[in-house]
């Protein structure tokens, strides 16, 4: 599919404890509701390809607090889904475009479940793509323990050891067995990660968001009561924690899961050196959004 590059209008806003950067790609068409595309901790730079498929909509993207252009007063502090939700709400209000459609992936999907619970009139349709909600899985205790093991590796050995352990956990195919969290993480060299520890513990994924994101308990009563249409979405990598999170949300809300091409990063078109199936992914997203128009 041919895409059009629209130069984004870069903006910032002040939030409690943070400065949040966001972009608006305006469209001449008013035929479609504005679309907010986001992740966490993935920033706006991860969604350039996907945004380019929606030149007929005004598209908003942003950098979550602590990620890339968005700063935090205390980068060693934890960021919670509730904080992210308030940041996203502030961006929507600042954009002044009314209720938006949202495509939110990974931690961004979790943050937008918090957004809809707190500000249900902000969002018309939420496509919640692969939220890694360890806390609501059938094997929740083992899943949460596996995530805490990632944090242990990070705190004890630094970024390379923490990220290698993260890759092993998020790619695990199925429920986590008893004792999984007690196993050591893999050698960082297996994934081309540095083994040396630079001493920092402020990484936006491993230090700021890992536990609060995966351990979040959505307010399903509030989500059911909201006017927002919530579409849990999952890629083809069945069995991984984030994929199972989408199915767990769907079961809790009593709605079907929308299947999307590719895996967890199916929308990527070369961003951060990763490529999914962006054309097919964007076509599927358009289909899901148009079905609610």
CA–CA separation, 70 vs 105, rounded Å? 18
Same-domain pairing of 151 and 200:
yes
Looking at residue 36, which CATH number applies to its domain? 3.40.50.1820
Same-domain pairing of 180 and 238:
no
Length of the chain, in residues: 293
Same-domain pairing of 114 and 19:
yes
Residue 2 domain-assigned (yes or no): no
Residue that finishes a domain, picked among 192, 209, 226: 209
Same-domain pairing of 113 and 85:
yes
Same-domain pairing of 80 and 16:
yes
Residue 3 domain-assigned (yes or no): no
pLDDT digits (tens, 9 = 90+) for 37-75: 999 999 999 999 999 999 999 999 999 999 999 999 999
Same-domain pairing of 17 and 110:
yes
Residue that finishes a domain, picked among 158, 179, 209: 209
Query: How much is the pTM?
Result: 0.96
Same-domain pairing of 256 and 118:
yes
Q: Are 65 and 82 in contact (CB under 8 A)?
A: no
φ, ψ of residue 242 in degrees (nearest 5): -70, -40
Boundaries of domain holding 185: 140-209
Residue 19 domain-assigned (yes or no): yes
- Number of structural domains the chain divides into: 2
Q: What is the pLDDT tens value at each position of the chain, 293 positions in all?
A: 444 556 899 999 999 999 999 999 999 888 899 999 999 999 999 999 999 999 999 999 999 999 999 999 999 999 999 999 999 999 999 999 999 999 999 999 999 999 999 999 999 999 999 999 999 999 999 999 999 999 999 999 999 999 999 999 999 999 999 999 999 999 999 999 989 999 999 999 999 999 999 999 999 999 999 999 999 999 988 899 999 999 999 999 999 999 999 999 999 999 999 999 999 999 999 999 998 65
Same-domain pairing of 31 and 160:
no
Residue 153 domain-assigned (yes or no): yes
Give the list of residues 6+ apart from residue 47 with CB closer than 8 angstroms, or none.
37, 38, 39, 61, 267, 271
Pairing of the two strands 35-38 and 100-105: parallel
Same-domain pairing of 201 and 257:
no
């Amino acid at each position: 599919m041919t895409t059009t590059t629209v130069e984004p209008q870069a903006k910032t806003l002040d939030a409690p404890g943070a400065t949040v950067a966001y972009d608006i790609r305006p469209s001449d068409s008013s035929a479609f509701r504005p679309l907010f595309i986001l992740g966490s901790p993935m920033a706006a730079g991860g969604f350039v390809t996907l945004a380019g498929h929606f030149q007929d909509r005004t598209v908003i993207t942003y950098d979550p607090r602590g990620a890339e252009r968005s700063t935090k007063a205390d980068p060693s502090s934890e960021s919670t889904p509730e904080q992210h939700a308030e940041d996203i709400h502030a961006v929507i209000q600042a954009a002044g475009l009314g209720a938006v459609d949202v495509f939110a992936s990974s931690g961004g999907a979790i943050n937008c479940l918090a957004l809809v619970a707190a500000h249900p009139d902000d969002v018309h349709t939420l496509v919640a793509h692969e939220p890694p909600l360890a806390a609501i899985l059938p094997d929740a205790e083992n899943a949460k323990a596996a995530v805490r093991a990632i944090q242990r590796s990070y705190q004890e050995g630094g970024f390379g050891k923490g990220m290698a352990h993260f890759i092993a956990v998020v790619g695990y195919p199925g429920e986590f067995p008893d004792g999984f969290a007690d196993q050591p993480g893999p050698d960082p060299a297996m994934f081309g990660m540095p083994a040396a520890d630079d001493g920092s513990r402020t990484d936006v994924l491993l230090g700021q968001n890992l536990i609060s994101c995966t351990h979040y308990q959505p307010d399903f009563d509030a989500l059911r009561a909201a006017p927002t249409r919530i579409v849990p979405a999952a890629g083809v990598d069945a069995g991984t924690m984030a994929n199972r999170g989408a199915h767990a949300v769907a079961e809790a809300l009593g709605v079907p899961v929308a299947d999307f091409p590719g895996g967890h990063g199916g929308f990527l078109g070369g961003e951060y050196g990763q490529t999914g199936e962006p054309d097919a992914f964007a076509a599927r997203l358009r289909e899901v959004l148009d079905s609610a128009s």
